[in-house]
Chains A and B, each alone.
Chain A
């Protein structure tokens, strides 16, 4: 049972345009969400996160939006650059004692076309 889903396995975007990566979740207990970026032959690296008390968090070119009623979050990258080509994973977390686990989505491969 996949509690965190990324329904687009891949996405191609022109350099300079906006990249939008989507993530859906089914467990309403999730209250903290993260995005990780992964280059080939490397481990994932943390990109940006958002708590469920917010609906938006920005960090430079990266913005994460959270829609709790739709159980949906998205990552916007503006403007997209060739170095953004990577696999992006969303992850979710329940902040209560006794549940110390991140649940990851299946990933979206983003390709930025020069």
Chain B
């Protein structure tokens, strides 16, 4: 049981580039979410999904897209990277939104 896996662990992008952060879980959880962690800001919700085919926006969705075609996968797409998107990104899954299981994170730097 791998839990929640995220790839890549580290990524450097140039302004304007696009990329996809991968997230997968093997616990058959319906609920998945993406957060970003910035100094002094805590964990802020970007997008979340309550099941395959259903996604919704969180607190800071601008500049990010998500889709949920399967229960296992919940990729986060950066459409045109900006320095303000430099952050650590965490994916989480859970059977309900309360007790979430987090992945190890992706550290993204946009130059």
Contacts and interface: CB of A to CB of B under 8 A. Distances in A.
Interface stretch (A13-21, A53-61, A75-83, A102-110): A102-110
B44 A93 contact: no
Interface string B26-59: 0000010101000011111100101000001010
Interface residues of B, number: 26
B40 to A, nearest CB: 6
Interface in A42-65: 42-46, 49
Contact of A42 (B44, B99, B100, B105): B105
A41 B104 contact: yes
Given A9-B40, A102-B97, A45 B102 contact: yes
A43 B35 CA distance: 11
Interface string B73-111: 000000000000000001010001111111111000000
Interface of B: 4, 31, 33, 35, 40-45, 48, 50, 56, 58, 90, 92, 96-105
Interface residues of A, number: 24
Contacts of A45: 102
B4 A43 contact: yes
Majority-rule SS of B interface residues: strand
A44 B90 contact: yes
A53 to B, nearest CB: 15
Contacts of A89: 42-43
Most buried by B among A36, A89, A100: A100
Nearest to A102: B97
Interface of A: 4, 6, 9, 32, 34, 36, 41-46, 49, 89, 91, 93, 100-107
Given A104-B42, A105-B42, A43 B104 contact: yes
B99 A49 contact: yes
A101 B47 CA distance: 10
A102 B42 contact: no
